[in-house]
Amino acid sequence: MLSRFMPFILSPRSSCHQVLVASLLHPVLLSLPVMLFAPACTSKQKAAPSGWEVAGGTHEGTHYSSATQIDTNNVKDLEVAWTFHTGDADTLNHSQIQCNPIIVNGILYGTSPSLILFAVDAATGKEIWTFSPRDSNQNRTQFDFVMNNSRGVTYWSSGEDKRIFYTAGPFVYAVDALTGMLIASFGQNGRIDLHAGLGRDVHDLYVTSTAPGIVYKDLLIMGSRVSEGADAAPGHIRAYDARTGRQIWIFHTIPQPGEQGYQTWEDSIAWRHIGGANTWSGFTLDEKRGILFAPTGRASFDFYGGRRLGQDLFANCLLALDAATGKRIWHFQTVHHDIWDKDIPTPPALVRIRHNGQIVDAVAQPTKNGFVFLFERETGKPLFPIEEKAVPTNTELKGERLWPAQPVPTLPKPFVRQTFRDSDINTLLPDTSVQEIRSRLAGYRTGNMFNPISEHGTVVLPGLDGGAEWGGPAFDPKTGLLYINANEMAWVITAVRLPVPGTEKQTLLEAGHSLYTRNCISCHGPDRKGSGNNPSLLDVNKKYDETQFTALVSSGRRMMPAFQQLTQQEKEALACFVLDLKNEQQKPFIPVPRPVDTFLNLPYNITGYNRFLSKEGLPAIRPPWGTLNAINLNTGQLEWKIPLGEVPGLSGKGVVTGSENYGGAAVTRGGLLFIAATRDGKFRAFNKRTGKLLWETILPAPGFATPAVYTIEGREYIVIACGGGKLGTHSGDSYVAFALPAR
């Protein structure tokens, strides 16, 4: 049957032929009328499809569209053009969709809450094909738990070979872009395992990728997401042959002997044990120059650096690499010896600006701390001076030694607040709550964003989720404005001293509590009520029995890493504590003898990822709690700043506070800035020059994702994934596209 349609497959024509082929080859669509796609194939066809072929809009990461059909005058007339339901939202476990879809030749590619890859007609939202990684997985039991969020997919083509690459669990899959069939010649049976090729055995550690890879010529370049704990795998950057899946090059983000940066780690064998320093947020690419820009995260463990003393290159760095070879061109470290979880949260925007009377190709890197670092693209020379400023180093944590200075750009000025003092307390709270916040604040270390983590509590502002976050910036080349949506929430991080692993006799309950404190308390809190974006475990025994729980601990799920380094006895003890298995708790714990790993068994953990909130659940800091910022990169000055998002119970009283937000914006030549990102579930359009709100609508679920803008047959569309799930919101399963009314 395939040979019957080979003339269509071999013809590099318009998107209608590709959709037609896909529909004829896909069994689900055999019953659809062929004429459904005919209008796009007539001789009177309008302009070719254009828009969003790369996650982030372009390889430069600018989130920019040249579309002008929708503008500041008619945006008020937007209506829903189509809605696509994936049908697999997991409301019980707060599933999400964080995907910024891509649109190639009239086909939209995206992922579902359970990481099913799909292709739909971008003009109608009609399904063309779907691909489920479960259908090709050789270990279904493990895969059912090993999940991750997906923030996008990657397209590559060579002649008639057209592929979509995306990650589900630890695997990167290659899928035929026209048929949805797995390409078996790639890697092993159509996939590569991100555990492989890192230079050391990490098969039992958590390795995946939430961000899409990026293509340079015939190379697929991948970063990774690893554990936040001491058991993190190394975050080395790798490039693969897009045809075969063979690993071509690797850049060691934790340098090995003889490599540049190795001497910045005081322990000469740290590279054998330390993990992290991973590019988890994705890449941008200067295709003309062949320069890959890779932002890296902190080294493990997040909040204690006593096992990784030194400057810690190439953690917390913006790396400029030769995309063909992986060789370093230049780097800049935004935080030295990071103990505040200040990963670089987004790929930089590659911009062209006017500086000192000259047009300069530059790199604009936003950070969680609210800075924007600006560099010349080829050399890494700062466009504005960067000062190394002295910071507090008087830590109380044994074995820790902080770096004495941190880099601070003179321009642009910070786009969020960076200190929390008594005058910053939220005055919307009742007087009794204000006093309670004031009393707590007096007991914490505060007043400097580089204060050491302490056992009494340290205020972290900007918080662990920024400042800037993974949604990333948008850049308008017409005005030179960089748009950044930001969180302005204070968090409190408190260190807790851990017991030294010993050989004393313990019950299963005692051993389970000790294991929980060492491995789980940072995410789920000392009371198991959850912290940050991590769920409560108080009723987990209603969802899992002991067998299911130990399987979950072994393989992880979504944000939870795998704990395969634990023995079966340790997993059973942990289950005994977490599931409250009263009939088992007094039985003796019989550990398997093994040497103590001083790198994994750290002397400190934290009590949780805790926002600084009042007893009413409102932020302790005064509004705004979420903002949208426009920075003029030509001058380094803030052009405008507005609150972004509403809080139920306050917006009705006329109080505009802004709210936490996740996902980025898209900017258009038509004068508009589109963004969802907020927990209130609204999708908004602003005048990009002034920040004036021009249009808003309620989505079926909050859009914690970045919208995509594209044009088909002269009609402009804006599409957003509505997955919800984050910040306690309801989960959704839809992609919604908006357009002006059809003529």
> How much is the pLDDT for 51?
81
Reply yes or no on whether the pLDDT at 156 is more than 50. yes
Reply yes or no on whether the pLDDT at 529 is more than 80. no
Average pLDDT, whole number, for the chain?
89
What confidence tier does 559 reach under pLDDT thresholds 50, 70, 90? low
- Each residue of 322-373: pLDDT tens digit? 999 999 999 999 999 999 999 999 999 999 999 999 999 999 999 999 999 9
> How much is the pLDDT for 568?
84
Q: Within a 10 A sphere around the Cβ of 351, how many other Cβ atoms?
A: 24
Spatial neighbors of 240 by CB under 8 A, at least 6 apart, are 172, 187, 192, 219, 220, 221, 222, 246, 247, 248
> How much is the pLDDT for 485?
98
| 194-198 average pLDDT score | 97
Reply yes or no on whether the pLDDT at 15 is more than 80. no
Which amino acid, one-letter code, is at 379? T
Reply yes or no on whether the pLDDT at 6 is more than 50. no
Q: Within a 10 A sphere around the Cβ of 282, how many other Cβ atoms?
A: 28
Rounded CA-CA distance 658/644 in Å is 4
In sign, the C-alpha dihedral spanning 722, 725, 729, 732 is positive
Contact call for residues 718 and 707 (beta carbons, < 8 A): yes
Nearest to 466 by CA among 606, 372, 560, 605: 372
What confidence tier does 503 reach under pLDDT thresholds 50, 70, 90? low
> How much is the pLDDT for 671?
98
| 658-680 average pLDDT score | 98
Reply yes or no on whether the pLDDT at 29 is more than 50. no
Reply yes or no on whether the pLDDT at 11 is more than 50. no
| Least-confidence region, from 42-51, 96-105, 260-269, 655-664 | 42-51
What number of CA atoms fall less than 13 Å from residue 366's CA on the CB side? 36
Domain with CATH 1.10.760.10 in the chain: 502-595
- Each residue of 458-479: pLDDT tens digit? 999 999 999 999 999 999 999 9
What confidence tier does 303 reach under pLDDT thresholds 50, 70, 90? very high
Domain with CATH 2.40.10.480 in the chain: 208-347
> How much is the pLDDT for 17?
38
Reply yes or no on whether the pLDDT at 136 is more than 90. no
Rounded CA-CA distance 632/475 in Å is 10
> How much is the pLDDT for 354?
97
Q: Which residue has the higher pLDDT, 529 or 412?
A: 412
> How much is the pLDDT for 534?
74
- Each residue of 238-264: pLDDT tens digit? 999 999 999 999 999 999 999 999 999
| 554-558 average pLDDT score | 67
How would CATH label the architecture of 208-347? Beta Barrel (2.40)
> How much is the pLDDT for 449?
97
| 557-574 average pLDDT score | 76
| Least-confidence region, from 290-299, 489-498, 591-600, 694-703 | 591-600
Full DSSP string of 379-403:
T--BSS-EEEEE------STT----
> How much is the pLDDT for 21?
38
- Each residue of 213-244: pLDDT tens digit? 999 999 999 999 999 888 899 999 999 999 99
> How much is the pLDDT for 7?
31
Reply yes or no on whether the pLDDT at 411 is more than 90. yes
Rounded CA-CA distance 365/468 in Å is 10
Spatial neighbors of 741 by CB under 8 A, at least 6 apart, are 77, 79
Nearest to 736 by CA among 717, 724, 719: 719
State the pTM of this model.
0.87
- Taking the CA atoms of residue 617, residue 621, residue 626 and residue 631 in that order, the dihedral angle to the nearest 10 degrees is -170
| DSSP for residue 548 | H
What confidence tier does 134 reach under pLDDT thresholds 50, 70, 90? confident
- As assigned by CATH, the class of the 502-595 domain is mainly alpha
> How much is the pLDDT for 517?
77
- Each residue of 707-735: pLDDT tens digit? 999 999 999 999 999 999 999 999 999 99
- Each residue of 600-616: pLDDT tens digit? 789 999 999 999 999 99
For 2-7, the CB contacts below 8 A with 24+ separation are none
Spatial neighbors of 705 by CB under 8 A, at least 6 apart, are 97, 98, 99, 100, 151, 471, 663, 676, 677, 720, 721, 723
What confidence tier does 209 reach under pLDDT thresholds 50, 70, 90? very high
Q: Which residue has the higher pLDDT, 465 or 540?
A: 465
Rounded CA-CA distance 44/38 in Å is 11
